[in-house]
Amino acid sequence: MSRRLGISADYCNRRYTGVGVLIITNYMNKPHFVLGREAFKSIKVDDNYCVSVYEEFGGGIQKPSLGLEINACFELKEETSNLLDISNPEILKKGINKYFDIPFKEDRLYRIYVVYIENVNNILSMFNYNRKTLLTHVNSYYKYNHYLEMDNLELISLDAISEVIRDKQNYICLYPEDNAHNNKSETTTYVGMLHVINDIFISKRLTQFLNTIYNNKSGLEHCYNIFYDGFINSKYMPTDIISQKIMMVSEPKYNQIGTNKLKFLDGTYSFDVI
């Protein structure tokens, strides 16, 4: 079973206020993240607006009494426009997957579940179909907007991130304290939004995780390890071992009219992760 990495005594005095899922997959035999772009999120740089800020699927804890895994599944389902609907939240701790805690402010923690899903890249085009379907089902219920927070999904190469993450010039900071940190002579890891390639940036929170050291490895190094374990298992291990070690998407489920508690989800497609 996976375990939390990065425990420190300081964490005992913190409370969980957020949770998310970071997906790693295989694309052309190379490690990639599946990240989402939040609609209307923008940053201002030299009087120009750059809007392509990508991040994992996460946010605040909606129902604390239900536990972190269930809340992570809420975020994943909503921010993929109902595309990934995990029926068994415990699967987030399956096999090679790991979870990490990111400190925030003075008293908070954000938990990120890092998971490998072998064939998720094959279904990403269905996100656009679901989102277009949802846009035809305008609804005043507050949950409706949660399913439209992301307006694009993107495969982003870990190798591309690795090439730029150690260069201060690739970071954009919105706060004076972040600039002050990056400009210290002794600074070796930087904070801020990371410019990866073209107009693609990754969020400050995700960049923080990738730079943070957990058990003598950076978050990015852990992601590489999870990819290689998943890649080897999916390519060379017997089927019964694969089913125990890595997550895969199921056959598509069409959400027929009248079968959904949230009516605006009618007509969308969902994939369980098993």
**Number of domains the chain contains:** 1
Q: Which helix (H) or strand (E) holds 144?
A: helix 142-146
The answer to whether residue 21 sits within a structural domain is: yes
In degrees rounded to 5, what are phi and psi of residue 255?
A: -85, 95
CATH number at residue 60: 3.90.79.10
Q: What is the pTM of this model?
A: 0.94
The answer to whether residue 11 sits within a structural domain is: yes
Domain extent for 123:
4-158+199-265
Quickly tell me which residue has 């995990």 as its tokens.
86
pLDDT recorded at residue 119: 86
The answer to whether residue 57 sits within a structural domain is: yes
Kindly give, in sequence order, each residue whose CB lies less than 8 Å from that of residue 183, ignoring residues fewer than 6 positions away: none
* CA pair distance 111, 248, nearest whole angstrom: 22
3-state percent helix, strand, coil for the chain, nearest multiple of 5: 35, 30, 35
The answer to whether residue 224 sits within a structural domain is: yes
The answer to whether residue 176 sits within a structural domain is: no
Average pLDDT score over the chain: 92
Residue pLDDT tens, the chain, 274 long:
344 555 445 677 899 999 999 999 999 999 999 999 987 676 666 666 666 899 999 999 999 999 999 999 999 999 999 999 999 999 999 999 999 999 998 899 999 999 999 889 999 999 999 999 999 999 999 999 999 999 999 999 999 999 999 999 999 998 999 999 999 999 999 999 999 999 899 999 999 999 999 999 999 999 999 999 999 888 888 877 777 889 999 999 999 999 999 999 999 999 999 8
* CA pair distance 207, 215, nearest whole angstrom: 18
